[in-house]
Amino acid sequence: MTCVSRRLLGGAVLALAAPAVRAQSRPVRIVVPYAPGGQSDTVVRLIQPKMSEALGQTIVVENRPGGGGTIGASAVVASPADGTTLLFESYGFITQPLIQTSLTYDHEHAFMAIGQAVELPYVLVVKAAFPANDLAGYINEAKRQNGIPFGSPGIGSIGHLAGALLAHRAGVQLEHIPYRGGTEAARDIVGGNLDSAISSANSLRPLVVEGKAKGIALTSGTRRGTLSNLPTIAESGFPGFDFTSWNGMFAPAGTPAPVIARMNEAMRAATSDPGVRERLAASGNDPVSGSAEQFAALVARDRETVRNLVRETRLQLQ
Q: What is the CATH number of the domain that holds 297?
A: 3.40.190.150
Last residue of a domain, one of 236, 253, 285: 236
Is 180 in the same domain as 211?
Answer: yes
Cα–Cα distance for residue pair 122/233, rounded to 1 Å: 11
Residue 1 confidence (pLDDT): 52
Inside any domain, residue 227: yes
Whether 126 and 232 map to the same domain: the answer is yes
Q: Which of 205, 236, 267 is the last residue of a domain?
A: 236
Enclosing domain of residue 265: 25-120+245-313
Q: What's the distance, Cα to Cα, between the start and end of the chain in Å? A: 64
Q: 18 in a domain, yes or no?
A: no
pLDDT of residue 24: 61
Query: What is the total count of domains within the chain?
Result: 2
Residue 161 shares a structural domain with residue 104: no
Alpha helices in 78-190 (DSSP H): 92-99, 135-144, 158-170, 182-190
Residues 133 and 232 in one domain: yes
Burial of 237 (0-12, 13-18, 19+ CB in 10 A): middle
Under 8 Å between Cβ of 122 and 152: no
**Judgement on whether residues 214 and 133 belong to the same structural domain of the protein:** yes
Rounded Cα–Cα distance for residues 119 and 258 (Å): 25
Q: What angle do CA 227, 230, 231 make, to 5 degrees?
A: 135
Evaluate whether residue 94 is within a structural domain.
Answer: yes
pLDDT at 129: 97
> For position 78, what pLDDT does the model report?
96
Contact 293, 145 (CB under 8 A): no
Length of the chain (residues): 318
140 and 196 in one domain?
yes
Instruction: Report the candidate in 56, 18, 57, 20 with the shortest Cα–Cα distance to residue 256.
Output: 20
265 belongs to a structural domain: yes
Total-model pTM: 0.83
Give the pLDDT score at 100. 83
Q: Is residue 52 part of a domain?
A: yes
With H, G, I as helix, E, B as strand and everything else as coil, classify residue 89: strand
Query: Along the 318 residues of the chain, how does pLDDT read in single tens digits?
Result: 554 444 444 454 444 444 444 556 689 999 999 888 888 999 999 999 999 999 999 999 999 988 888 899 999 999 999 999 999 999 989 988 888 888 888 999 999 999 999 998 899 999 999 999 999 999 999 999 999 999 998 888 899 999 999 999 999 999 999 987 888 899 999 999 999 999 988 789 899 999 999 999 999 999 988 888 999 999 999 999 999 999 999 999 999 999 999 999 999 999 999 999 999 998 889 999 999 999 999 999 999 999 998 888 888 776
Q: Is there a domain that residue 11 lies in? A: no
d(CA 248, CA 173): 33
State residue 235's pLDDT score: 96
How would you label 161-196 residue by residue, b for 16+ Cβ within 10 Å and e otherwise? bbbbbbbebbebebebbebebbebbbebbbeeebbb
Following CA atoms 48, 250, 244, 200 in sequence, which dihedral angle do they give, to the nearest 10 degrees? 50
Tell me, yes or no, whether 225 and 170 share the same domain.
Answer: yes
Which domain-ending residue is among 203, 236, 269?
Answer: 236
Residue 89 and residue 176 in one domain: no
**22 Cβ contact list (under 8 Å, min separation 6):** none
d(CA 61, CA 45): 7
In this prediction, residue 155 carries a pLDDT of 87
